[in-house]
Amino acid sequence: MTALQHLLSAAARGAAKRSPAARMMTAVACEADTAIHVNLAPKTRRDGGGRGVQWIFLGCPGVGKGTYASRLSQLLGVPHIATGDLVRNELASSSPQARQLADITNQGKLVSDEVIMTLLSKRLQQQEANGESGFILDGFPRTIRQAEIFEGVTDVDLVVNLKLREDVLLEKCLGRRICSQCGGNFNVAFINIRGENGEPGMYMPPLLPPPQCTTKLISRPDDTEEVVKERLHVYYEMSQPVEEFYSQPRKTVGIQLTRRNRRIMAKIFASAET
Ligand SMILES: Nc1ncnc2c1ncn2[C@@H]1O[C@H](COP(=O)(O)OP(=O)(O)O)[C@@H](O)[C@H]1O
């Protein structure tokens, strides 16, 4: 079976499993200096089904897709699927294509649509076998072809498009750290820029690790200045058109980030509700 057939069949089975039960959830998003209480009636209200939300996060490398997608995944109880993690898991395996994928990612290029579809398809099948439904996708789709294929087989409820200044994106990628033991994601970059010439200021304190992780921090091999610049270039060329692809009929919320966390979660929930 081809990757596309896998994806099609997994998506088709997911759609068939929808139940009419709507659920109401109170999510409490704790912000650095505010607490936001959100009453969330998920998308199930729209389609009358009981499946989990089907959301997509778009945005440049370093914008914070993973941070927000993972928090929302915990709040909503739906899987967070980061295609970058799927690729890294494959790299860490002894699969025949691991070496080739390492060369591609270390140069900041995109892996082929076929490879991504295969990895995503396997992941969706696993989650189906575990009885999980819904997804918060982070890092997919990244090409128009991926978007078109996915659009043909799924009903995406919400597309969140995060935006951040390019100099800050670079700083945030260079500040990323991962605990080699627990896998936790942190960021040592301290963004503190005064607003001027009508531009808003920016304040994003570091996301520091707990003491037990501090001596085990590593950086991703593709988070060097040269590779991040190439990834940004690839994003503008290959992935920005995906933002336009979703901008019209789809429910898309664009968020310009200037501070970490503040009101972002509430804005995303509010968009899902309207
Ligand atoms: N949807 C995708 N299509 C093609 N390649 C992908 C996709 N998702 C991830 N990758 C590959 O995995 C790498 C790491 O992805 P990710 O962790 O999402 O990085 P980023 O921080 O750039 O958003 C990408 O540079 C690319 O090589």
Top-confidence residue, 18 or 250: 250
Among candidate residues 105, 78, 77, 72, the one with its CA nearest the CA of residue 90: 105
Domains by residue range for the chain, with CATH: 3-164+241-273 (3.40.50.300)
Distance (Å) from CA 231 to ligand 1 centroid: 9
pLDDT value for 8? 52
Task: Work out the pLDDT band at 261, boundaries 50, 70, 90.
Answer: low
User: Which helix (DSSP H) or strand (DSSP E) does residue 86 occupy?
Assistant: helix 83-92
Among candidate residues 34, 67, 55, 58, the one with its CA nearest the CA of residue 172: 67
Residue to probe by mutation, ligand 1, list 88, 111, 112, most atoms within 8 Å of CB: 111
Average pLDDT over residues 228-242: 97
Pairing between β-strand 217-218 and β-strand 176-179 as defined by DSSP bridges: antiparallel
Q: Residue 56 pLDDT more than 90? A: yes
Top-confidence residue, 110 or 1: 110
Task: Indicate the length of the chain as a whole number.
Answer: 274
Cβ contact 228:129 at 8 Å: no
pLDDT value for 264? 87
| Nearest residue by C-alpha to atom 9 in ligand 1 | 84
Q: Rounded to whole angstroms, how far apart are CA atoms 4 and 36? A: 40
Rounded to the nearest 10°, the torsion over CA 111, 131, 128, 95 is 50
Distance (Å) from CA 234 to ligand 1 centroid: 10
Structure tokens at 221: 């091999």
Closest ligand 1 atom number to CA of residue 62: 21
**CA 262, chain centre distance (Å):** 18
User: Which helix (DSSP H) or strand (DSSP E) does residue 106 occupy?
Assistant: helix 98-106
Q: What is the ipTM of this complex?
A: 0.98
Per-chain mean pLDDT for the chain: 83
Q: How far is CA 57 from CA 163, 168, 216, in A?
A: 11, 19, 29
Among candidate residues 196, 176, 198, the one with its CA nearest the CA of residue 187: 176
61 CB less than 6 Å from ligand 1? yes
Q: What values do phi and psi take at 235, rounded to 5? A: -60, -50
| Nearest residue by C-alpha to atom 23 in ligand 1 | 61
104 CB less than 6 Å from ligand 1? yes
Question: pLDDT tens for residues 137-195?
Answer: 999 999 999 999 999 998 899 999 999 999 999 999 999 999 999 999 999 999 999 98
pLDDT value for 5? 54
Distance (Å) from CA 84 to ligand 1 centroid: 4
Question: pLDDT tens for residues 73-132?
Answer: 999 999 999 999 999 999 999 888 999 999 999 999 999 999 999 999 999 999 989 999
